[in-house]
Structure 1
Amino acid sequence: MTLEHQPPKITSNLADNVGLTPMVKVMGGHSNNVEVLAKLEYTNFTGSIKERTAKFIIEDLKAKNKLSPKTTIIIPTSGNLAISVAGMVAKDRNKVIAVVPERTSTDKIHLLKAMGVEIIRAPTEARREAAENMYSTAYKLSEQLQNSIVIDETNIPSAVYDDLAEEILQQSVLQLDYVFVGVETGSTISRLAKALKAEKPEIKVYGVEPVDSVFARNEGNQHYKRREWKIEDLGSNFVPKNFDGSLIDGWIQVSDKDAYSTARRLLREEGITCGPSSGAVVWATLNHASNVQQHTTHTFRSVAILNDTMRNYMSTLLSDEWLLENDLVDEMTTKQLEYLSSERYRAASVEDLQLPAAVTISPSATVSHALNLMMEREYSQLPVIHSSNKKLVGYISESTLEAHLSDGSAQPEDPVSKWMFNFLKRNKGEKSTAKYEMITPDTSLADLAKFFEKNSFAVVTDADRKWCLGVATKYDLISFLNRRNVF
């Protein structure tokens, strides 16, 4: 077998695989005779474009003998740069401290903590010169800690994104008109624009930021009152003094709703697993494409830099409930979510599933009898019913029984009660082995669908939980939807 492309070589250093990210056509490839491409920077190993920054800085510090394993690295960041740096120096065991704004997602904080990074929170709205600002906090901390260094993205070397520029030009075969870049500190876009225009001066580079961020309207490095936008990794309430915007050809501001809706649309329609800031960049790219004035037969080409992964936003971007609660999805996406969660069930209840009568077993039955019964009826679980009052007390699982029989902890003649998941307290002071949630014939199918997000089956009982009426699975729910031709 011969591979069309050679895979990366074996390496002992993750940094060796930074870059060379793919570029793909998105949203059908064209919009208003503009070809729209996405550079998937989130495919770097910790999920963001910041790995290029981290690699460049760490290698530069080591080459200048400014970084040893005993050096404490302090990083003012919205999160991604600290994640990338922590990954780069993991083998060297450097202590890393991340000074992050309060709005940084819980998912990023969990990842940073798991990587051994110490977290310091700073007020989101604090201006650059404020004592509590994350940059001021980082430098003040560095003064107190011996053998420490601050990695400040606003002061990174100008050549840090030369490789990215070269990749973009090669992948597009120099057939490129517009590049769209998300802006937080301005370091990425200014350095990338410089590198791109050095090779192809006519390229237009656009900055993308949240509504109410300062870059698009800044004059004389003024500050503006900050609104608490939801998009992470984009936007600022100040412009760094060393930011050079002379190579930026324009600015596009994007609302939270457009950013999050586009990111979810990219996931659902394209399989692209980018974060909300990347969603903002794609929205800006498409919006620009729809307004391009076409006076020739030339097909324009735009590249959107997708800088982050949605894996760092599991509790926000990937949570339907959070998006709806915060009004962060457009009308089309809202209708899709509402349809999937409730409307497609058309107010139907468990009773409409027309489940067969429940097959049950008593706690005193043997393990071998339970397995034979499940094999005969092709069930994976059986409700366990109290032999005297017929009340549901738990359930037995085929996989659990087989596992215990396999390792010798269970015997075929053991009673089911010994190995069942018990909905009741067994002994005084002993906790229940399974939490019971009431499912009755009147339970809506929308609620049953939510139940199946965490459970593999549901035992259906009467409202008093005296009688076991049936067992429902997600298979029954899908069959119901299929019968109604809505699956």
Structure 2
Amino acid sequence: MWYNNILETIGNTPLVKLNAITKHVKGTILAKIETTNPGNSIKDRMALKMIEDAEEAGLLKPGGTIIEGTSGNTGMGLAMAAVVKGYRCIFTTTDKQSKEKIDALRAFGAEVIVCPTNVDPEDPRSYYSVSSRLEKEVPNAWKANQYDNLSNTKAHYEQTGPEIWEQTEGKITHLVVGVGTGGTISGTAKYLREKNPNIKVWGIDTYGSIFKKYKETGIFDKGEIYPYITEGIGEDFLPKNVDFSQIDLFEKVSDKDAALMTRDLARKEGIFAGNSAGAALAGLLQLSGSLKEDDVVVIIFHDHGSRYMGKMYNEDWLRERGFLKDEKLTAQAILKKRGEQAIVTADANQTVLETFNTMKSLNISQIPVTQQGMVVGKVTESDILSALLENPALKSSAVEEISSKPFPFVDLNTSIDKISGLINKDTQAVLVEDAYGKINIITQYDIINAISEV
């Protein structure tokens, strides 16, 4: 058996029991692994459905251009379908999205325009507004509008819901879904509740989003809105695809808990999923006290971990945000092991000879160069030697004349791996500002010492 094209492979994704992370949770916890779709996300389902419905309605014509504001996954589904069906794609996205997602869209030949995150949806710079403007300006264009296009919800009513009902043999008691556009949770819940009105539906939200408060109070509170890191869930407006009547409650999950749970999924369950999967599972654990032994919970894992390699799966990224404990040596740990040590610097106006004598007396091979207390460069023994061999008269010149670019600055939470990667034949040290604003230097010798003491 074969398929006529890649679009025919969308859907029929597996349901997998979680074991390690949920071992203390009552009930059976099953994950719907949407990463097995050809575009590695659940968005393939609704992307194709939106296109097919638009074709049927005459909104998307042969040779047309598909325009959409997307964080990456919907764009991937649309771009994949566009390749097969012969359409052009222009996508707008936000600057908080991972580079991997944007690169993936461009790999399919799509044009991607990156817009600022921290602006209102109505702002002309927002990715919503830019996509709407392009729809008017580009000839023969159709905007998918995943947030308000109800074909999104329809796709999950027709596909995801029936799959889950069949796979659980109708035993599902709870559906847990991270909510972004709302199509997945609304369509899936609608189908399942037609089969069994007693099924509980839990939406997972993030801090900085308005869904939870709106569900509980009916108030759209702009005070709830602020920037957040978690991708794929939460919004600062109300998409038409979010059917609040189908959702029993919303649970908010912090950026940190979502990121660390995403990482734990790979390490403890062997499931390489995206950020919204971590958020959804963390939310389920927060609500797990209400579960019973005979409950069957289905949690949807929307997309693949490969789109988050520079974020949730990058330890330095996690450390920089204070999400990860000091499992490896960091700049802070190296300084602590070394103990208090005053940094020696050379003023930019002192002579090359004075600088060399300072280095010689203290037996150091490199020295930062400062100007009015700011680090503006560095000088090494080899810099001085090369300069004097070329022109001995330079020994009376200001050291800034022979200085090179400064040592790189690193954060206190920067790992030893990253620091080691920065140190090479041209850069013999890094600088780090401690919690009190004092500048410290870390050399290769300090790193070796710290490792040998572990």
One-letter amino acid matched to 1:301: V
AA at the equivalent of 2:320: E
C-alpha offsets along residues 140-181 of structure 1, whole Å, 9 cap, x if unaligned? 211111100000112232421021111111111111111111
- Distance (whole Å) between structure 1 residues aligned to residue 119 and residue 331 of structure 2: 39
Find 1:37's aligned residue among 30, 34, 37: 30
CA distance in structure 1 between the partners assigned to 2:42 and 2:322 by the alignment: 28
Partner secondary structure for residue 123 of structure 2:
coil
Contact 2:69 2:93 in 1 (8 A): yes
The aligned residue for residue 326 of structure 1 is 321
Normalised TM-score (structure 1)? 0.65
After TM superposition, list the pairs within 5 Å mapping 1:179-328 onto structure 2: 179-218=175-214, 219-220=217-218, 222-225=220-223, 226-240=225-239, 243-289=242-288, 291-292=289-290, 294=292, 298-328=293-323
Shift of 1:248: 0.4
Q: Tell me the TM-score normalised to structure 2 length.
A: 0.69
Give the direction of change, closer, same or farther, for the CA distance of 1:97–1:27 in structure 2 (3 Å limit): same
Describe the SS at the equivalent of 2:298: strand
Alignment-derived partner of residue 461 in structure 1: none
Segment of structure 1 superposing worse, 84-93 or 45-54: 84-93
Change in 2 beyond 3 A, CA 1:242/1:171 = closer
- The alignment partner of 2:222 has SS state of coil
Q: Which runs of 5+ in 1 are unaligned?
A: 1-8, 348-445, 459-479
Instruction: Please tell me the residue identity of whatever aligns with 1:127.
Output: D
Aligned partners of 1:74 and 1:149 also within 8 Å: yes
Aligned to 2:173: 177
The amino acid of 1:285's aligned partner reads L
* Alpha-carbon distance in structure 1 between the residues aligned to 2:323 and 2:5: 39
Q: How many residues align?
A: 346
Amino acid across the alignment from 1:159: K
Please, what is the CA RMSD of the aligned residues? 3.1
**Correspondence 1:45-56 to 2 at 5 A:** 45-56=38-49
Shift of 1:45: 1.3
Say whether the 8 Å CA contact 2:32–2:298 is kept in structure 1.
Answer: yes
Q: Go from structure 1 to structure 2 and tell me whether the alpha carbon gap of 1:339 and 1:39 turns closer, same or farther (over 3 Å shift).
A: farther
What residue number does 1:394 align with?
Answer: none
Render the CA deviation track for 1:56-114: whole Å, top value 9, x for unaligned.
Answer: 12222333444344101001112110111101111334210111122111111111122
CA distance in structure 2 between the aligned counterparts of 1:257 and 1:312, rounded to whole angstroms = 18
Distance 1:256 1:63 in 2: 41
Tell me, yes or no, if structure 1 residue 132 matches structure 2 residue 96.
no
Report the AA paired with residue 255 of structure 1: S
- Shift in CA distance, 25/130, structure 1 to aligned 2, threshold 3 Å: same
CA deviation profile, 1:178-225 (whole Å, cap 9, x unmatched): 111111122221222111111111111111111121000014462424
Structure 1 equivalent of residue 16 of structure 2: 24
| Counterpart contact for 2:172–2:297, Cα < 8 Å | yes
Aligned to 1:263, what secondary structure does the other structure show? helix
Further displaced range: 208-217 or 126-135: 126-135
Give the match's secondary structure for 2:92: strand
Tell whether the 8 Å contact from 2:210 to 2:236 is kept in structure 1 after alignment.
yes
Q: Where do 1:78-477 residues align within 5 Å?
A: 78-153=71-146, 154-157=148-151, 158-161=153-156, 162-218=158-214, 219-220=217-218, 222-225=220-223, 226-240=225-239, 243-289=242-288, 291-292=289-290, 294=292, 298-329=293-324, 334-336=325-327, 338=328
Q: Cα 1:18–1:452, aligned 2, differ >3 Å: closer, same or farther?
A: farther
Alpha-carbon distance change, 450 to 100 in structure 1, aligned in 2, over 3 angstroms:
closer
Whole-angstrom distance in 1 between the partners of 2:421 and 2:195? 52
Matched, 1:10 2:5: no
Partner SS state of residue 129, structure 2: helix
Match of 1:422 in 2: none
Q: What is the CA–CA distance in structure 2 between the aligned matches of 1:87 and 1:227, rounded to whole Å?
A: 33
**What is the identity, as a one-letter code, of the residue corresponding to 2:191?**
A
Question: What is the SS of the residue equivalent to 2:213?
Answer: coil
Give 3-state SS (helix, strand or coil) of 2:246's partner. Answer: coil
| 1:101/1:134 contact within 8 Å kept | yes
**Which residue does the alignment assign to 2:370?**
none
Structure 1, 212-221 or 38-47: larger mean CA deviation: 212-221
* Structure 1 residue aligned with 2:440: none
Amino acid at match of 2:279: A
For residues 10 and 288 of structure 1, the distance between their equivalents in structure 2, rounded to whole angstroms, comes to: 43
| % same residue | 31
Partner Cα distance (1:213, 1:34) in 2: 29
Contact 2:35 2:41 in 1 (8 A): yes
AA in 2 matched with 1:22: P
The AA in structure 1 aligned to 2:102 is I
Aligned equivalents of 1:68 and 1:273: distance in 2? 38
Runs ≥4 residues deviating over 4 A: 339-343, 449-454
8 Å CA contact 2:25, 2:285 repeated in 1: no
CA–CA separation in structure 1 for the residues paired with 2:241 and 2:62 = 30
1:89 is paired with a residue whose SS is helix
Where do 5+ consecutive residues of structure 2 fail to align?
A: 338-414, 425-450
Cα pair distance change 1:341/1:14, threshold 3 Å? farther
Q: Distance in 1 between matches of 2:18 and 2:421?
A: 30
Aligned equivalents of 1:221 and 1:74: distance in 2? 31
**1:341 CA displacement:** 12
Q: CA deviation at 1:453?
A: 9.1
Distance verdict in 2 for CA 1:50–1:335, change over 3 Å: same
Give the direction of change, closer, same or farther, for the CA distance of 1:282–1:111 in structure 2 (3 Å limit): same
Q: Equivalents in 2 of 1:211, 1:114: separation in Å?
A: 32
Superposition map of 1:62-81 within 5 A: 62-81=55-74
Alpha-carbon distance in 1 for matches of 2:40, 2:331: 30
Q: What is the match of residue 343 of structure 2?
A: none
Is the Cα contact below 8 Å between 1:223 and 1:238 reproduced in 2?
Answer: no
Q: Deviations over 1:231-284 (max 9, x none)?
A: 111111111356420110010100011011001111011110001111000111
Q: Distance in 1 between matches of 2:48 and 2:170?
A: 26
8 Å CA contact 2:51–2:144 kept in 1: the answer is no
* Cα separation, 1, equivalents of 2:326 and 2:180: 32
